[in-house]
Structure 1
Amino acid sequence: MPGIGLFEAIYSARSLRHFRPDPVPAALIEQVLDAAIRASSGGNTQHWTFIVVRDPAMRARLGAIYRKASDHQAAVYAAQPKPQHLTDEQYRQFLANSGFLWDHMADAPVILVPCLTRRPRPVKETLPESVQARYAEHLDNVARVSGSSIYPAIQNVILACRGLGLGTVITTNHMLYEPEVKEALGIPAEVSTFALMPIGYPTRKYGPLTRRPVAEVTFADRWGQAWRPAGSP
């Protein structure tokens, strides 16, 4: 299938959770992964790894862990207020779609598991005194920004899937039971998982997407100062 334009992909790549059982050709999976590794990573380390899970037994095992973790997430959703920009029906539909995947993760013909290897921490004593004085803050910041080296690649996966006529969604519920996921897949201790991404030919339509307007989520120069859309007085 010929690729589509970049902005068409951005504006129509919905989170898709319903898939046909048809297998996805290995060539397409490789094309998606080749798009993923074009993303940037901190220090250009490229310390990512991607596990492509197609074996039905392993998909079932991951699906069971994901189902267990999703029970916890369901309780979180129930306790949280509805986002203000969603109508009651839109929120009900969101919960229904999420709940479907909780029960059917294993039905996707492919489950992609993006991983990142933790980089060694610098030895405190080898750093300048000014840096040593803020060493704890440095380590906290490293943990906070670690996803910046894998989530750009994950977004490339989403867009590549859209361009190739595939569907996917990023979901992270499994992290509540990540040790079980790592044991199932034989992932080393120094490697962390950052998502489960079911991939397949979707049974539901792509976008268009509905989002809050740019003017509602953007400030100019400082917090609270309204962004004026192009062409406004």
Structure 2
Amino acid sequence: MDVHEALYTTRMMRRLHPDPIPLEIQARILDAAIRAPNGGNTQRWHFLAVDDPATKAELAAIYRSSRAREYADIAAGELAQPLHDPQAHAKTMRRITTSGDYFTDHFAETPLLLFVFAIDDHGGANIYPAIWSALLAARAEGVGGTITTVLRYEAERVMRLLEVPTEAGWRMTAMLALGYPRGRWGVAANRRPVQEVSSRNRWGQDFGVTVPFPLWPGESSG
């Protein structure tokens, strides 16, 4: 797969088939992830793959209660508010909420839950490149997924269930839910264009280029 196709069409997939992901594909995804750049090549990461049905069922209950706490924070205005076009944002959030409800209801059916842990990660600078590489590698294998940090609301319960050695300093960064998607891949069409979110030399100065539509696929792609 062309790298630009992977970059442009990888998106969050919350509606997944329950079919298992073969171990050799899981291995290729993680082998790509660990090639990601990380400061000093310290590789202070650990990936925990969960596919045991009983464990997934326990995590599903924790996820549901964590999501309820997240909704409470949203209702209280404690999470980030939209910077632009509140009406468009509200429409997007309604769509995401519907998709998220489906994901919550079918959490235990997710073929693979990939938990990502790190130590002293400087705000995610070292681990998030590996997470994104995993999602891109999954896309190349026809595997979709979503990244969620919702379980951090009840991180202690999760870490205890998964027997994570917290005394060594390990902390949960995120969880990837991976599986073969029910939806279609496609270029995100709801992004504000480059010139509206970019500046040059000083904040607010013209970036110098106008990008009226996605640059992939280009004219040469047909």
1:217 aligned onto 2:197:
yes
The TM-score, its normalising length taken from structure 2, stands at 0.86
Alignment of 1:110-149 (within 5 A): 110-118=112-120, 145-149=122-126
User: What is the rounded CA distance, in whole Å, between the counterparts of 1:84 and 1:106 in structure 2?
Assistant: 35
- Please give the alpha-carbon distance, in whole angstroms, between the structure 1 residues aligned to 2:154 and 2:89: 32
Task: Compute the displacement of 1:104 (Å).
Answer: 2.3
2:174 aligned residue: 195
Unpaired segments ≥5 residues, structure 1: 119-142
* Partner of residue 63 from structure 2, selected from 46, 66, 76: 66
Which letter does structure 2 place at the counterpart of 1:115? F
Change in Cα spacing, 1:149 to 1:88, as seen in structure 2 (3 Å) is closer
Q: Is the 8 A contact 2:49 2:115 kept in 1?
A: yes
What does 1:45-60 align with in structure 2 at a 5 Å threshold?
45-60=42-57
The whole-number CA distance in structure 2 between the counterparts of 1:186 and 1:52 is 13
Match of residue 28 from structure 1? 25
Equivalent in 206, 216, 219 of residue 226 of structure 1 = 206
Instruction: Tell me if the contact between 2:9 and 2:186 (Cα under 8 Å) persists in the aligned partners.
Output: yes
* CA distance in 2: counterparts of 1:71 and 1:110, whole angstroms: 23
**Any idea what the Cα deviations from partners look like across 1:15-66, whole Å, max 9, x if unmatched?**
0011111111000000000010011112210111100001001111111111
C-alpha distance in structure 2 between counterparts of 1:102 and 1:108, whole Å: 10
Q: Does 1:207 align with 2:207?
A: no
Residue-by-residue CA offset, 1:185-223 (whole Å, 9 max, x unaligned):
000111111111111101111122121111111011111
Residues 1:179 and 1:88: Cα distance change in structure 2 (over 3 Å): closer
Q: CA shift at 1:83, angstroms?
A: 5.8
Max radius of gyration: which structure? 1
Please report the RMSD computed on the Cα atoms of aligned residues, expressed in angstroms: 1.9
Aligned-pair CA distance for 1:95: 1.6
2:74, 2:123 → 1: CA distance?
26
Shift of 1:92: 1.3
Q: TM-score, normalised by structure 1?
A: 0.82
CA contact (8 A) 1:171 1:196 kept: yes
* Distance in 2 of aligned mates of 1:78 and 1:12: 31
1:82·1:91 contact (CA, 8 Å) conserved in 2? Answer: no
User: How far apart are 1:91 and its partner, in Å?
Assistant: 2.7
Q: Counterpart of 1:128?
A: none
Opposite residue 84 of structure 1, the aligned amino acid is H
Which residue of structure 2 lines up, in the alignment, with residue 89 of structure 1?
Answer: 91
Q: Deviations over 1:127-170 (max 9, x none)?
A: xxxxxxxxxxxxxxxx7x24111110000011011111000111
* Residues 104-130 of structure 1, C-alpha deviations (whole Å, 9 max, x = no match): 222111000011134xxxxxxxxxxxx
Alignment pair present for 1:163 and 2:140: yes
Q: Distance in 1 between matches of 2:96 and 2:201?
A: 34
How many residue pairs get aligned? The number is 204
- With 218-227 and 150-159 compared, the bigger mean Cα shift is at 218-227
Query: Sequence identity, in percent?
Result: 36
Equivalent residue number for residue 12 of structure 2: 15
How far apart, CA to CA, are the structure 2 residues paired with 1:51 and 1:152? 17
Partner of 1:176: 153
Q: 5+ unaligned residues in a row in structure 2: which ranges? A: 212-222
